Amino acid sequence: MLKYLLLCRKPVAALAAALLVLLSVPMAHATKLKSQNLTQLIQSADSIISGTVTAVSDGIDASGVPYTEVTIAVGSVAKGKVKDGQSYTFRQFGLLKPKVAANGHQLLAISPEGFPRWKEDEYVVAFMFKKASRTGLQTTAGMAQGKLRLENGKLVNQFNNIGLFDGVDINQKLLNAEQINMLTSPGAVDATAFMDLVGRAVAEDWIGKGEMK
């Protein structure tokens, strides 16, 4: 199932923790993602934030679990308890690149295929899934589907937003022309229109009221 090999001082504990993390996110397999549309991402997310990635690093924790640590300077919050202007730091399973452990063994536990990739200075919208209860590790809802980066005023995920609006049904009286077009046009989306849609969908409980399905 896993495409990487853990070679460290506590290989059994690290492997068990890795399996726990993969089972704690809303995907059956890290290498073959189940498509999640915007409605599902909003429902699955514990928080939805946008902001600039200010730091990305990796390491191995005291239990031997490899992680990538990401810090986002939060510009706005559409869902959750995070505050505007805060720095939001989380650890995602897996390394940025292979490392040599203290015992001299090579640790090839990079973040699995399907996990989001993070870079300093990129502006992102992140649908953050809840933290794993035992490890505290965290990633985005829908894995890479739930992390969109800003490019030339438009937002796009690692899959060019494929499937993001599949099956999404919103009362069009609630949308402007740009947002109506967004639902039927694949690819990158206007950042302002997208964030307005997501923010109002959460604040006005469109899903709970049946206005968004």
The string of pLDDT tens digits covering residues 53-64 is 999 999 988 888
- Distance from C-alpha of 147 to C-alpha of 79, rounded to nearest angstrom: 15
Whether residue 51 has pLDDT greater than 80: yes
Query: What domain range includes position 47?
Result: 11-203
Residue 98: count of CB within 10 angstroms of its CB? 12
- Residue 83 in contact with residue 124, Cβ under 8 Å? no
More confident residue, 71 or 84: 71
Determine the 3-state secondary structure of 170 from DSSP. Answer: strand
Residue 213 lies in a domain: no
Residue 8 has pLDDT above 80, yes or no: no
Q: Is residue 184 part of a domain?
A: yes
Question: How many C-beta neighbours within 10 Å does residue 133 have?
Answer: 8
Is residue 183, in this structure, part of any structural domain at all?
yes
Q: What is the DSSP annotation of 67-136?
A: EEEEEEEEEEEEESSPPTT-EEEEEEESBSS-EE-TTS-EE--BPPTTS----TT-EEEEEEPPPPTTT-
Query: Is 166 within 8 Å of 35 (Cβ atoms)?
Result: yes
Q: What is the pLDDT of residues 141-172, one digit of tens each?
A: 999 999 999 999 999 999 999 999 999 999 99
Phi-psi region of 84 (alpha: psi -120 to 50; beta: other; left: phi over 0): beta
**Domain count of the fold of the chain:** 1
Q: Which is higher by pLDDT, 109 or 187? A: 187
**Domain assignment present for 114:** yes
HSE-CB of 113 using CA atoms within 13 angstroms: 8
- Give domain status of residue 4, yes or no: no
Distance in angstroms (rounded) separating the CA atoms of residues 6 and 60: 11
